[in-house]
């Protein structure tokens, strides 16, 4: 069932015109709200939603042109049609410049007007459909879909709950695959803007020259190929949220325009002169080292501070301890479900193998690994042989230090390093503490002591050897 259309706002100072146009539109099933002055029209637009505005050019007080320009600033999306008895090409151009979507010279046949109106009605229907689709998409984002019970992940979820209802700009920094998009989605879903648009733009995926027009729109003829006016995604996001992913890849000149947009929501379409304004909350993310980008002059420091009202730092997966297993089980349920298999479990040695890996691709990598395992494993359990040869991948990694991680202290860095070495050695020796101690040239007791200190716990496995599980 489609919803009833909002009414058409008709502004004309001639009573007869108001009556005849209203009757014509009503005959075709449209609701009409008719007023005699631009001032009255403007007031109504502030308060209510309309399908479109139809205005005469010459009115008693403020002219139709001025009305168009004012409404265009406040409601960039609203279709506006100007009608006038004094039609000249110059005036038509002026009307379009003031923001009219179209221009109709008097006298006109009723069908001409109705054609314009039906186009607006169609556009409205599409926008509504889009909004409904969007609602479905955004409802997938929730706090519960962010799996993890490690203290750092709990902290991230608590922060989402606190920050989501505010209008604060948010900067999400983290390695690739750490769940930055999930955080952004949850922030929108838990905000008062959840029913409005959630617009995502990947700044790295769009050519630098096109990004500005994608973001802020362009006027007809602004550049070769701009054959008609295009609304910016910020207009689509009005009232809602915009998520700029990979913001570290945005050019400096566009960064300046974004900064202005962040100050008060104002922007200008490419090739346009009018300053438009929307009400949009901005979320941004990058997996780049943003501080280094500022030092290298690739990223504006003022923009960084403006964006960085609240910062999220989803930790790399290797710092989340047992979350690796929780996530693996979550993905097992997901993939078994979608492949129609009974839910599989993770054999202990397989869990240990997952825990020993460094996860340079973070949760995304784990997701892929589990998807592969679900396809490969014939039985109800995932065994180490269904998992990739991480050792080989580890060797391919440059150095063994955590990539990009900024430890709080030297002690922490050394502990991380030591933990990774021990986990890697355990993996190579099939998680036998005896053999690993031998290879590392320490006593079994010394190795156990270190493992305890580093939160690598041990479990006796059925075959008498020792499994390792990280706490």
Ligand X SMILES: Nc1ncnc2c1ncn2[C@@H]1O[C@H](COP(=O)(O)OP(=O)(O)OP(=O)(O)O)[C@@H](O)[C@H]1O
Residues 6+ apart with CB under 8 A from 455: 321, 419, 470, 471
How many angstroms separate the CA atoms of 243 and 285, rounded? Answer: 8
3-state secondary structure of 161: helix
Q: With binding defined as CB under 6 A, does residue 174 bind ligand X?
A: yes
Q: Which is nearer to Mg ion, 99 or 177 (CB)?
A: 177
Nearest to 317, CA basis, from 175, 155, 196: 175
Nearest to 172, CA basis, from 150, 161, 187, 162: 187
Q: Which is nearer to Mg ion, 66 or 181 (CB)?
A: 181
Give the interface segment with ligand X, choosing from 75-83, 93-101, 173-181, 274-282 (CB under 6 A): 173-181
Which of Mg ion, ligand X, none does 148 bind, CB closer than 5 to 8 A by kind? ligand X
Q: How many CB atoms lie within 10 A of CB 132?
A: 10
Return the residue nearest ligand X (CB atom).
179
- Provide, rounded to whole angstroms, the least separation between the CB of residue 178 and ligand X: 4
- Provide, rounded to whole angstroms, the least separation between the CB of residue 287 and Mg ion: 8
How many angstroms separate the CA atoms of 416 and 401, rounded? Answer: 8
Residues 6+ apart with CB under 8 A from 15: 36
- Provide, rounded to whole angstroms, the least separation between the CB of residue 204 and ligand X: 9
Give the interface segment with ligand X, choosing from 43-51, 171-179, 261-269, 397-405 (CB under 6 A): 171-179
The verdict on whether omega for the bond into residue 261 sits within 30 degrees of 0, i.e. cis, is no
- Provide, rounded to whole angstroms, the least separation between the CB of residue 411 and Mg ion: 32
Among residues 287, 356, 420, 436, the one that binds ligand X under rule CB under 6 A? 287
DSSP 270: B
Distance of CA 454 to the CA centre of its chain: 37
Among residues 40, 167, 169, 176, the one that binds ligand X under rule CB under 6 A? 176
3-state secondary structure of 370: helix
Which of Mg ion, ligand X, none does 140 bind, CB closer than 5 to 8 A by kind? none
Among residues 146, 237, 242, 451, the one that binds ligand X under rule CB under 6 A? 146
Q: Which is nearer to ligand X, 62 or 147 (CB)?
A: 147
Give, as ranges, the residues between 247 and 286 that touch ligand X (CB under 6 A).
Answer: none
Q: Which is nearer to ligand X, 126 or 137 (CB)?
A: 137
- Provide, rounded to whole angstroms, the least separation between the CB of residue 201 and ligand X: 13
Q: What character string, x for contact with ligand X (CB under 6 A) and - otherwise, covers 340-379? A: -----------------------xx--x------------
Give the interface segment with ligand X, choosing from 132-140, 159-167, 176-184, 374-382 (CB under 6 A): 176-184
How many angstroms separate the CA atoms of 130 and 133, rounded? Answer: 5
- Provide, rounded to whole angstroms, the least separation between the CB of residue 319 and ligand X: 13
Query: Distances from the Cα of 196 to the Cαs of 128, 133, 279, 323, 452, in angstroms?
Result: 11, 11, 11, 33, 50
3-state secondary structure of 121: helix
Positions in the binding site for Mg ion (CB under 5 A): 181
Distance of CA 439 to the CA centre of its chain: 48
Which of ligand X, Mg ion, none does 178 bind, CB closer than 5 to 8 A by kind? ligand X
Q: Which residues in this chain contact ligand X in the complex, by CB under 6 A?
A: 145-148, 174, 176-182, 287, 327, 363-364, 367
């Amino acid at each position: 069932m489609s919803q009833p259309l909002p009414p058409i706002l008709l502004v004309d100072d001639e009573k007869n015109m108001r009556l005849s146009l209203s009757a014509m539109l009503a005959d075709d099933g449209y609701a009409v709200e008719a007023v005699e002055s631009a001032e009255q029209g403007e007031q109504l637009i502030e308060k209510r939603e309309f399908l479109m505005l139809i205005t005469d050019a010459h009115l008693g007080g403020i002219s139709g042109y001025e009305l168009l320009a004012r409404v265009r600033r406040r409601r960039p999306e609203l279709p506006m049609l100007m009608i006038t008895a004094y039609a000249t090409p110059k005036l038509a151009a002026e009307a379009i410049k003031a923001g009219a979507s179209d221009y109709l010279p008097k006298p006109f046949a009723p069908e001409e007007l109705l054609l314009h109106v039906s186009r607006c009605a169609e556009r409205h229907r599409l926008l509504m459909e889009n909004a409904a689709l969007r609602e479905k998409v955004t409802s997938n984002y929730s706090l519960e879909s962010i799996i993890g019970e490690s203290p750092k992940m709990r902290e991230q979820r608590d922060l989402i709950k606190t920050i989501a209802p505010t209008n604060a700009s948010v900067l999400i920094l983290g390695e690739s695959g750490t769940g930055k998009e999930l955080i952004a989605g949850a922030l929108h879903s838990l905000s008062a803007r959840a029913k409005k648009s959630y617009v995502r733009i990947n700044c790295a995926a769009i050519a630098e020259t096109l990004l500005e027009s994608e973001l802020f729109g362009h006027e007809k003829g602004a550049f070769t190929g701009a054959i008609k006016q295009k609304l910016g995604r910020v207009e689509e996001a009005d009232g809602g949220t915009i998520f700029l992913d990979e913001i570290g890849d945005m050019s400096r000149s566009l960064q300046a325009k974004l900064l202005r947009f962040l100050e008060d929501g104002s922007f200008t379409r490419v090739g346009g002169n009018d300053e438009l304004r929307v009400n949009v909350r901005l979320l941004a993310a990058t997996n780049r080292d943003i501080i280094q980008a500022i030092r290298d002059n690739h990223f504006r420091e003022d923009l960084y501070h403006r964006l960085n009202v609240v910062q999220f730092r989803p930790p790399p997966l290797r710092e989340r301890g047992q979350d690796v297993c929780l996530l693996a089980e979550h993905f097992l349920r997901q993939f078994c479900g979608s492949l129609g298999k009974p839910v599989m479990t993770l054999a202990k040695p397989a869990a240990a193998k997952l825990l020993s890996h460094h996860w340079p691709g973070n949760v995304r990598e784990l997701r892929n690994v589990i998807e592969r395992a679900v396809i490969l494993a014939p039985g109800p359990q995932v065994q180490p042989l269904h998992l990739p040869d991480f050792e080989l991948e580890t060797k391919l990694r440059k150095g063994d230090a955590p990539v990009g991680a900024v430890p709080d202290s030297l002690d922490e860095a050394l502990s991380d390093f030591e933990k990774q070495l021990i986990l890697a050695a355990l993996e190579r020796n099939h998680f036998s503490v005896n053999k690993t101690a031998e290879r590392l040239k320490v006593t079994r007791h010394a190795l156990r002591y270190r493992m305890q200190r580093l939160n690598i716990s041990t479990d006796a496995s059925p075959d008498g050897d020792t499994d390792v599980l990280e706490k």
